[in-house]
Amino acid sequence: EVQLVESGGGLVQPGGSLRVSCAASGFSFSDYFMDWVRQTPGKGLEWVGRSKSKAKSYRTEYAASVRGRFIISRDASGNTVYLQMNGLRTEDTALYHCVRASLDAAGIWYLDLWGRGTLVTVSS
Amino acid sequence: DIQMTQSPSSVSASVGDTVTITCRASQAVKNYLNWFQRKPGKAPKSLIYGAFNLQNGVPSRFSGSGSGTDFTLTIRSLQPEDSGFYYCQQYTDFPLTFGGGTKVEI
């Protein structure tokens, strides 16, 4: 079955760190871009960052709000993508979704498969 | 950043009705526009990509149109399982940005 399953969310204090994971199955993981998108009641949906495909050397891009604090990495052999979150702030509290991006006919990568998400709460 | 504005924020309709949701971008996004559906406790589901291309397995009662800055998602012959939240999202430029969502109640 083609799916994404996130794990590792939890409660962390401001300034702390947390790593969440996303296990992919049912597709050729290294051929796809993998993104993280977070969801909050107040700010709605916010794109966090991207790990490009193996063909693009797994290069990463980040939203300005997390650049320098968050790191996306992959374990290609285990079909898992990680989001390492450092220097966490209360405003990082959100449901974090792992999202696959596929290539359309125009050669543009678009989000097409989502996981249910894992909840991260930053609070003292 | 490209701002995406959806309307209405919520709509209540009956089974069999047609519902139309609009999405406006603050600058042209060509047709690099997604629509997806979110239900509580479930993974969001991609409905349409490239403004009008139906994802595999999505019922044909869903359709998308538009280009540039103005887009529309139309749900014809509304079904009970269509209740939920609907979002547009542009992918012409980083950061990827999303509309604020539309709640559809049946």
HSE-CB at A79 with a 13 A cutoff on CA atoms is 13
Cα of B95 to nearest chain A Cα, Å: 6
> CA quadruple B53, B55, B61, B64: dihedral positive or negative?
negative
Q: Note whether A44 contacts B32, CB cutoff 8 Å.
A: no
Cβ contacts (< 8 Å) between A61 and chain B: which residues? 94
Answer yes or no: are the C-beta atoms of B71 and B7 closer than 8 Å.
no
Residue with tokens 């894992």: A118
pLDDT the model gives residue A41: 80
Instruction: Evaluate the omega torsion of the peptide bond into residue B95 and state whether it is cis, within 30 degrees of 0.
Output: yes
How far does CA A78 lie from the centroid of its chain?
16
Q: Which residues partner with A101 through β-bridges?
A: A33, A111
Q: How close B88 gets to chain A, by Cα (Å)?
A: 10
> What letter does residue A106 receive in the DSSP assignment?
T
Beta carbons of B69 and B86 less than 8 angstroms apart: no
User: Do B53 and B65 touch, CB atoms closer than 8 A?
Assistant: no
Three-state SS letters, B23-89: EEECCCCCCCEEEEEECCCCCCEEEEECCCEECCCCCCCEEEEEECCEEEEEECCCCHHHCEEEEEE
Tracing tokens 């309307």 back to the chain, one arrives at B7
How far B10 CA sits from the closest chain A CA (Å)?
Answer: 15
Single-letter code of the amino acid located at B25:
A
**Distance set, CA B44 to CA A38, A74, A77, A94, B41 (Å):** 12, 22, 26, 15, 9
Low-confidence spans in chain A with pLDDT less than 70:
none
pLDDT > 90? residue B92: yes
Cβ separation B94–A46 shorter than 8 A: no
Q: How many CB atoms lie under 10 A from the CB of residue A9?
A: 17
Provide the mean pLDDT of chain B: 96
Taking an 8 Å cut-off on Cβ atoms, the answer to whether A47 and B45 are in contact is: no
What pLDDT is stored for residue A122 in this prediction?
Answer: 97
SS3 category, A78: helix
pLDDT digit string (tens) for B15-47? 999 999 999 999 999 999 999 999 988 999 999
